[in-house]
Amino acid sequence: MPAPERDARARAHAERADGLTAVWRAAHERGEAHAIEDFLFTYYPTRPGQLRRWHPGPGVVLEAAPDDERLGWRWYREVALPDGGAGVTLDAAAFLAERGDAVRYVRALVGATAARPGTFGCFGLHEWAMVYRDAERGRDHRHPLPLRLGHDGTDAVVEGHRITCSHFDAFRFFTPEARDRNQLRPSRERQPAMEQPGCLHANMDLYKWAMKLGPAVPGELLLDCFELARDIRYTDMAASPYDVSAYGVEAVAIETPEGKAEYVRRQRGFAERAQVLRARLVAACDTLLDAADVA
């Protein structure tokens, strides 16, 4: 990739990352918590600076600038160009030597999830199960926001619905009283066998997997995964028991037929976007593995 294209893509990537993180950065700079977007930087421990750094992905040789900073980046190496100049590229073999198990795990998990049909009847009840019967046990709920229906109303919604959460990293935050109400028993060991593409949290996790793959993921794909996770997070909280009106977000009242229909409509849209990203993540893993085999 010639230097002008390299530089243009890196600039565009940084500008896009800044736009996507602007709300969170502004709150952070004011010293304020952001009950919706903090999750994207705490549960997924990421810094905005990591999102700003553009990588071309495996198999791409960039024309190296004088004193190219990428030569100092982990897992990059210098290569000779046909015209005698210098290039820089991801050292796929070195990356796999350190991260090969992670690459293969992500490839298997994401590929298996993509191959399954999505289910669309959970209505985001995982968030409700995380605060079920908190008041009577004297526990603080997870976010510093009021409950939209109060404690009794929240508990009644949980008790009046069938809970079918398939995502372990949501299920593990259920209150003890809510765990036995879940019709499924997700576990870390069973995660590759249970993930399904209708799950909001499985779709947000594509951002986690893209970050875990680091420079092996093209920058455009990383930001597409982050943007999807950010969009899902707003719906996740809008459909939760919390009152998020202070953030200008209208509730998706899943305790009503209209709210359920709206949740499923959004859930299906997110699933369609996520399936496209899964295919791209699988392709990035395969390209990395192929590049290492050739090397």
State the pLDDT confidence band at 270, using cuts at 50, 70 and 90: very high
Is 146 strand, coil or helix?
Answer: coil
Tell me the C-alpha distance between 178 and 165, whole Å.
Answer: 11
State the pLDDT confidence band at 136, using cuts at 50, 70 and 90: low
Count the neighbouring beta carbons within 10 Å of the beta carbon of residue 43. Answer: 13
Taking residues 229-239, what's their average pLDDT? 98
Q: How many residues does the chain have?
A: 295
**pLDDT given at position 290:** 84
pLDDT, one tens digit per residue, over 70-101 is: 888 999 999 998 888 899 999 999 999 999 99
pLDDT, one tens digit per residue, over 201-232 is: 999 999 999 999 999 999 999 999 999 999 99
Res. 257: pLDDT tops 70: yes
Taking residues 142-151, what's their average pLDDT? 88
State the pLDDT confidence band at 292, using cuts at 50, 70 and 90: low
Taking residues 144-168, what's their average pLDDT? 94
The average confidence (pLDDT) of the chain is: 92
pLDDT, one tens digit per residue, over 68-77 is: 888 889 999 9
**pLDDT given at position 135:** 75
pTM: 0.93
- DSSP structure string for 59-72: T-EEEPPTT-GGGG
User: Looking at the 3D structure of the chain, how many domains does it have?
Assistant: 1
**pLDDT given at position 134:** 84
pLDDT, one tens digit per residue, over 24-33 is: 999 999 999 9
pLDDT, one tens digit per residue, over 32-41 is: 999 999 999 9
Taking residues 146-169, what's their average pLDDT? 94
Domain span including residue 154:
3-294
Buried b (16+ CB within 10 A) or exposed e, 211-234: bbbbbbbbbbbbbbbbbbbbbbbb
**pLDDT given at position 137:** 63
For residue 26, CA distances in Å to 29, 133, 216 come to: 5, 35, 30
